Amino acid sequence: MAVTTQQLMQWKQQGRKIVALTAWDWTIAQLLDSAGVDVILVGDSLAMVALGMETTLPVTVEEMLHHAKAVRRGVKQALVVVDLPFLSYQESPQQAMRSAGRVLKETGAMAVKLEGGYPAIAETVYRLVRAGIPVLGHVGLTPQSVHLLGYRQQGKTKEAGERIFAEAEALQDAGAFGVVLEHIPADLARRITEKLAIPTIGIGAGPHCDGQVLVTADLLGLSERKPPFVKSYVNLRETIGQAVREFCSEVREGEFPQGSE
Ligand code: KIV
């Protein structure tokens, strides 16, 4: 059975942890889906891991749609969520509706994610959800605000923590089906997770969230640089580099291909 937003809420109630990973193309999406990942996020981090951009800011709606279509073709079970890129939703609820509508209509993805929880964003989430567009929120470290916040841990002071708490609650009240908590103290993430009825999905937010998400390039050891809270389960940069060096050497030495067909 394909994963739904309602299923994620039930899993929270049952204490069944949610597994989420990012994907940027068909191959990665197929691999994640067949390995049993619950939520596949076409994150705007693809700007950095797939397009070589310095930050997530330059990626466009068109580029997100292009990658999301490829990902969607590779997924049979997981819930596919697509990030709305920087300045494709902050201007007005109407702008957000156009961007999110394109994501659902043109890619076949089931939901969108957007960053922030301040009143104008909560209002936008409210309108999108009323129009039938499921929304995943994202608070704490929000990479689209890198030039304001940097990549530092957020919510360290009592005041900053309370602000993030209030944003997460506002997103729930607006109808978001879940919220990503990025790079905040574990205790703050625990308090938010206990208070909210919707699932929290953490990244660098400790073990108490209802689920965990990682950027797949980091998990696979493909990224040149990665945040300190990431665990790489394999070093594919090394493995791929080694395989390619071997190929170069075998071609140059006349060892590949062997014999005649
Ligand atoms: O863009 C992304 O990959 C994300 C995850 C880090 C949650 O937003």
Contact 42, 68 (CB under 8 A): yes
Helices (H) and strands (E) in the chain, counts: 11, 8
Between the CA of 242 and the centroid of ligand 1 the distance, in Å, is 29
Question: pLDDT tens per residue, the chain (261 residues)?
Answer: 899 999 999 999 999 999 999 999 999 999 999 999 999 999 999 999 999 999 999 999 999 999 999 999 999 999 999 999 999 999 999 999 999 999 999 999 999 999 999 999 999 999 999 999 999 999 999 999 999 999 999 999 999 999 999 999 999 999 999 999 999 999 999 999 999 999 999 999 999 999 999 999 999 999 988 899 999 999 999 999 999 999 999 999 999 998 765
Residue nearest to atom 6 of ligand 1 (CA): 215
Separation between Cα atoms, residue 192 and residue 173, nearest integer Å: 14
Report the atom number in ligand 1 closest to the C-alpha of 213.
7
Report the atom number in ligand 1 closest to the C-alpha of 115.
8
Please report, for residues 112, 125, 152, 198, 239, the alpha-carbon distance to residue 173 in angstroms, rounded to integers and kept in the order given: 17, 9, 27, 10, 46
Residue nearest to atom 4 of ligand 1 (CA): 43
Residue nearest to atom 2 of ligand 1 (CA): 43
Between the CA of 245 and the centroid of ligand 1 the distance, in Å, is 32
The set of protein residues with a Cβ atom below 6 angstroms from ligand 1 is 22, 41, 43-45, 83, 138, 180, 203, 213, 215
CB proximity list for 142: less than 8 A, separation 6 or greater: 115, 116, 149, 182
Separation between Cα atoms, residue 59 and residue 53, nearest integer Å: 8
Between the CA of 41 and the centroid of ligand 1 the distance, in Å, is 7
H/E segment holding residue 64: helix 61-73
Catalytic residue among 182, 238, 246, 255: 182
φ and ψ of 245, to 5 deg: -60, -40
Contact 190, 175 (CB under 8 A): no
Separation between Cα atoms, residue 132 and residue 140, nearest integer Å: 26
Report the atom number in ligand 1 closest to the C-alpha of 45.
1
Between the CA of 244 and the centroid of ligand 1 the distance, in Å, is 29
Between the CA of 253 and the centroid of ligand 1 the distance, in Å, is 43
167 belongs to the catalytic site: no
